[in-house]
Structure 1
Amino acid sequence: MTRQTTQQPGRQPGDETAWTTVVGTIRKGMPVIDADGTRIGKVAYLDGEEIVLEPDEPGQDAEFVALTQVDGVDETSVLLSGRGDATFGLGGEP
């Protein structure tokens, strides 16, 4: 899936390293953990209401997770809720 970003003019996704959201403060490089405890990636940046993950390989399309899928944020990681992966990467409403 190709990832389209909604950037403000003159801003790049890497300009910020922390974002305050309704679920907590999310920082660049934080691991994203699914409800089963599996690490699915690292935070690259936030784009609107979505967490964009760092691609595993150079040139690979970035995957993303909607903030509505986040169960909680602690000092070191982002934990996703246990709603399954039916909506993973869609960015839609729960």
Structure 2
Amino acid sequence: MDSIPPIDTEDEGKPVYDTDGTRVGIVTHVAGTEVAVDPDPRLTDTVAAKLGWSFMLDGSDDSYPISLTSIESVEDDRIVVGGKGS
């Protein structure tokens, strides 16, 4: 990825999808370079592992900080995140 898409507090509440179109959570907090996502409780272990969200595999339902570099795009109606290698 060449640049990090702009994200700010107006993006709080947007759903978060992976690049395959699976809804993985919702943005709960944006502050500077920090973005927190509340994982979708229906998120499968396979998708969680692909995203590098190992905390989900332990049954945690806490909000999770994501790296700005994992954000593929910020759209009007969603945020798209890539895998752990993004």
Q: TM-score, normalised on structure 1?
A: 0.52
Root-mean-square deviation (CA), in Å? Answer: 2.6
Q: Please list the CA deviations of residues 14-50 of structure 1 after superposition, one character each: whole Å capped at 9, or x if unmatched.
A: xxxxxxxx51244111011111111110000024423
Match of 1:36 among 20, 29, 35: 20
Q: 5+ unaligned residues in a row in structure 1: which ranges?
A: 1-21, 88-93
Code of the aligned partner of 1:61: D
| Displaced runs of 4 or more, over 4 A | none
Task: Map 1:39-78 onto structure 2 (within 5 A).
Answer: 39-54=23-38, 60-78=61-79
CA distance in 2, matches of 1:79, 1:55: 13
Where does residue 18 of structure 1 map in the other structure? none
Q: 5+ unaligned residues in a row in structure 2: which ranges?
A: 42-59
Work out which structure has the larger RCO, using CA pairs closer than 8 Å and 6 or more positions apart in sequence.
2
CA distance in 1, matches of 2:16, 2:80: 6
Q: How many residues align?
A: 63
* Identity within the alignment, %: 30
Alpha-carbon spacing, 1:75–1:66, altered in 2? closer, same or farther (3 Å): same
Q: TM-score, normalised on structure 2?
A: 0.57
